[in-house]
Structure 1
Amino acid sequence: MALIKAELLKLRTTRLWWVMLAVTIAYVLLQLGLTIGFAGQGGGPNGQPIFPGRDTVPFQELMWGLGASGALFPMILGVVMMTAEYRYQTITTTFLTTPRRERVVVAKLGAGVVVGLAFGLVVLALTAVAVAVSVPLSHGELVLSAKILRIAAGVLAVLVLYTLFGVGLGALIKNQLGAIVAAVVWVFIIEALVNAIPALRPVGKWTPAGAGSAVTNSGVDLGLGTDYLLPAWAGAVVLLGYAVLFSAVASATTIRRDIT
């Protein structure tokens, strides 16, 4: 616990965490605003609305899942939590202070969980405000169903997972710029293509993005299809598996690496 507190202290003494938080807020607000603005309007197949009307329950379920779209930014923060130690050569002092490197890695992962949860809670708070304002203005009735709770829990899980992914990626790729570029390419190119191309979807459903979409799936088809996704419980299991995998990668690469 002392090491986790130390890692969080390192993070709090830099400006990057609140910059990433501000960018996350802006990005999620953009997603929420676009969904609210285009809700109920045509443009889908056979002239059907792309997004459900603001007075419907599917609209609320869709809104609650949008927070997962901001997962890139806590992931970048996770990368920096690891790679900044190498960039500024503080990793030597860290490992001299705590020679058992696996404890340092576990502490960084523990701090990553806290960061992911904090970002997730902020995102869910923004979503709650957006839903609470937009639905009554459209004469809809606010609901808090078991499905919405599952979607909200999925958003938290996705943001935590991607933060851990960032820590693991930073342990694997010491170069900070290289690790951040790899993270962006993974989210915006590799996972986006794999989950958008129908022929690749049998593989895409097993990626972190596919598993996260399964957990936060509202059942609303936005043109990419949702029938290929895993069940929500299976998506949660896959997310947990990736978290374990990222932890193992982070531990194995950092413990065995020569840092001199």
Structure 2
Amino acid sequence: MTRLVRAELLKVFTTRMVWGMLALSLGFTAIGLVALSVLSGAQGVPAVTGPEGVRNLFSQAGTGLVFAFVIGTLLMTGEYRFQTITYTFLVTPRRERVVAAKLAACAVVGLLFGLAGIALAFAVAIPALLIRGASLSLIGGDVARVCAGVVGAMALYAILGLAVGSLLRNQVAAIVVGVGWVYVLESILVALLPSVGKWLPGGAAQAVYGVSSPFGSGYLPAWGGAALLVGYAAVFAAVASLTTIRRDIT
């Protein structure tokens, strides 16, 4: 099993796409961090000198969730696009082992994306706090929870990408669906129906981050968001497994 996971990780990290997605993810994170640092204390923006502002600042480490999704999508749809899925299953006839290895690889990629975002958040947040005259003691338990939430959410979205790729198989269609969901449909639901949006993956991630909702209806408590993320991950993993194991690949 370890060899299978290593093989899947090799597939990911020997392509330029993963580094491009990581760069884009960090770029979005940097934009969010700089914007919050500059607008700190402005109307409607919590100051970074307080606990809420610090949580919001570090939550920007998870801004690039969609790019973790794309990597998960590519890990599955790339097999169908380049017709390597047949050889993969010939080498490892037990398909469930292949799916499990891909899920593990997705979780690792999401973890690495999350850690990279967290490192960037610390690199920007510490100078921002010092410039604003805030105490570094604000970086404590709340920040640790936010960082854990970022890593978990990144892993979840990579697994979600794998599940969508397993369902659609077409690379372009899977990416369009994922980007449309994260940036369009989910954003609209959170804005117009916040009581519904808080139960979506994005709302669960925000709950784990501990940030406040700008739309009046609060997110779930942190433990509730974490439980919901785990539940989504389990469902997505089951979908990826069933659609890959039972369907004809020719």
Q: Distance in 2 between matches of 1:25 and 1:5?
A: 25
Q: Distance in 1 between matches of 2:196 and 2:226?
A: 17
Paired AA for residue 195 in structure 2: P
Q: Distance in 1 between matches of 2:188 and 2:230?
A: 23
Would you say 1:151 and 2:146 are equivalent positions?
yes
User: What is the match of residue 169 of structure 1?
Assistant: 164
Q: Find the partner of 1:124 among 118, 129, 134.
A: 118
- Report the 3-state secondary structure (helix = DSSP H, G, I; strand = E; otherwise coil) of the residue aligned with 1:258: coil
Q: What are the within-5 Å matches in structure 2 for residues 239-254 of structure 1?
A: 239-254=229-244
User: What is the match of residue 71 of structure 2?
Assistant: 77
Q: Distance in 1 between matches of 2:226 and 2:75?
A: 25
Contact 2:48 2:57 in 1 (8 A): no
Percentage of matched positions with identical amino acids:
43
TM-fit CA distance, 1:257: 1.2
Paired AA for residue 228 in structure 2: V
Q: Distance in 1 between matches of 2:169 and 2:175?
A: 10
Note the residue ranges of structure 1 that are not aligned, 5 or more in a row: 42-48
- Report the 3-state secondary structure (helix = DSSP H, G, I; strand = E; otherwise coil) of the residue aligned with 1:54: coil
Q: Distance in 2 between matches of 1:128 and 1:102?
A: 39
* TM-score when normalising by structure 2: 0.96
Higher mean C-alpha deviation, range 93-102 or range 210-219: 210-219
Paired AA for residue 100 in structure 2: V
Contact 1:64 1:151 in 2 (8 A): yes
Q: What are the within-5 Å matches in structure 2 for residues 76-95 of structure 1?
A: 76-95=70-89
Tell me the number of residue pairs that the alignment of Structure 1 and Structure 2 aligns: 248
Q: Distance in 2 between matches of 1:53 and 1:237?
A: 30
User: What is the match of residue 130 of structure 2?
Assistant: 136
Paired AA for residue 253 in structure 1: T
Would you say 1:229 and 2:219 are equivalent positions?
yes
RMSD: 1.2
Runs (4+) off by over 6 Å: none
Paired AA for residue 125 in structure 1: A
Note the residue ranges of structure 2 that are not aligned, 5 or more in a row: none
Q: Find the partner of 2:47 among 47, 50, 53.
A: 53
